[in-house]
Each structure stands twice: as structure tokens, then as C-alpha cells.
Amino acid sequence: MPYRCDVIDPPKTAVIVVDMQNDFVAPGAALQSRQAHAMVPRLAATLKACRDRGMRVVYTAHAHRRDGCDMGLYDDLYPPIAARASLVDGTPGVDIYPELAPQPGEHVIKKHRYSGFFATDLDLILREWGVDTVVVCGTTTENCCHATARDAMFRNYRVVFLSDATGTFDYPDIGCGAMTAEEVHRATLSILAFSTAHVMSCEELLARSK
């Protein structure tokens, strides 16, 4: 049976805010997730409550150098990245969306793949803090949030995945059928709940961590 995090110990818990950057969240951005934009007020309020309870908050930001030396296959997958119009390190698009800006002393982990753990020092930082539980939120549900949650579980962290503080975008039909953002989100939550994380709402998280 899937594991549960019925009691969450704030001093041993870190909230990982995945890729809530201007290029994914701001209106008009080429890679915008409307679900991510819509959840900003809820996530901002939840982060404040988590900080008040003593949880650590750490951010990830997906970014690539302009010369493409860390690009991998992303220029094949996403035209705005290939055109260097999105996720270019050192540009405002890579910055965390202002309403969710890190507080003084909070870290932003630059990453070059979906997972916040791949080729970064996130695991090192969490272990230095004595963290054993991570709360995953942000965008996109099925890619960067999913990959980060999976990699956390592989490293023996207990994983909480916030159902109403994660979001994605519509998927076009490229041969296997189109999916709406709502369908992608729901399917990913079902998969994660069975195999990887305790999926819960922001309200449930706060109720379990007083």
C-alpha cells in the first residue's frame, strides 16, 4: 500500500518550490502554465504558513546557458528554448515569479533537467539541514514536479505532493491523443499517489504539521 505522512515534523521538512519562474507563470510567457498562474495566491499563503511553522523553503529554477552547453535535448523538445527565447540563464524569465519571491536566506537551485536533484546540490543541502520529508509544489505537475518527487523518493525522503499547488498545461496531439491540463494533472496525481508520494491539499499539509 502507498505510504502516508500523517504527521509532518516541521523542523525536518523542506518545501521544494519547483520552477515557479516568470517564463512558466507570467501572463503571456511562451511556456506559461495557466494552472501554475492560477494557484499563485494559494501557494503564496501556504508558503507563509509553512515558514511560520518552521519548515525550510527552497526553490528550483530551470535555466540554460545561452550557448547551449547544458541544453541536452531540450532544444529538440521545446521551440522557445531552442530559440533562446525562454529559460535563458541571467534573463528575467528565469527569476522566481514576484508574488512567490524567496525570503532572505532562502536558496534558488539552478537546474538543467526536469528533476531538482539531477546534477545539483539540492540533496546535499537537504541532508545538511537534517530534512527527512519534502513537500513538492510548483510546475509542471507531470515533468519537473514529478521528476523531483521521484528522485526524492529514490533518495529515501518521505514525499508530500500538493494536489492544489501544482499545475501544468494542455498537451497537443502528437500522435497519441491530446490531453487537457486537467487530465494531465489528474493522471499524474493518481500515479504519484500509488507509487511515490502522499498526495494532499495545502489545507491537509498545514493540518498535519501544527
The CATH number of whichever domain residue 35 belongs to comes to 3.40.50.850
The catalytic position among 50, 111, 137, 145 is 111
Nearest CA among 101, 76, 126, 113 for reference residue 21:
101
Query: Please, which pLDDT band fits residue 1 given cuts at 50, 70 and 90?
Result: low
Tell me the whole-structure pTM to 2 decimals.
0.98
12 is known as an active-site residue: no
User: pLDDT (tens digit, 9 = 90+) per residue, 13-57?
Assistant: 999 999 999 999 999 999 999 999 999 999 999 999 999 999 999
Q: What is the mean pLDDT of residues 142-146?
A: 98
pLDDT band per the 50, 70, 90 thresholds, residue 3: confident
pLDDT in tens, 103-130: 999 999 999 999 999 999 999 999 999 9
pLDDT tens per residue across span 158-191: 999 999 999 999 999 999 999 999 999 999 999 9
The number of domains in the chain is 1
The rounded distance, in Å, linking the Cα atoms of 142 and 192 is 9
| DSSP bridge pairs for 59 | 17, 108
End-to-end CA distance of the chain: 26
* Model pLDDT, residue 210: 80
CA dihedral 41, 44, 46, 52 (to 10 degrees): -140
Decide if 88 is inside a domain: yes
Is-catalytic flag, 111? yes
5 is catalytic: no
The mean predicted confidence, pLDDT, of the chain is 97
> Does 4 reside within a domain?
no
Which domain range does residue 24 map to? 10-207
In sign, the C-alpha dihedral spanning 62, 197, 162, 49 is negative
Would you say the C-alpha torsion 113, 30, 164, 45 has a positive or negative sign?
positive
pLDDT at site 89? 98
Answer for the pair 144, 138: CB distance below 8 angstroms, yes or no.
yes
Of residues 5, 137, 144, 202, which has the active-site annotation? 144
The reply to whether 153 falls in a domain is: yes
Q: Is residue 39 part of a domain?
A: yes
Structural domain contains residue 66: yes
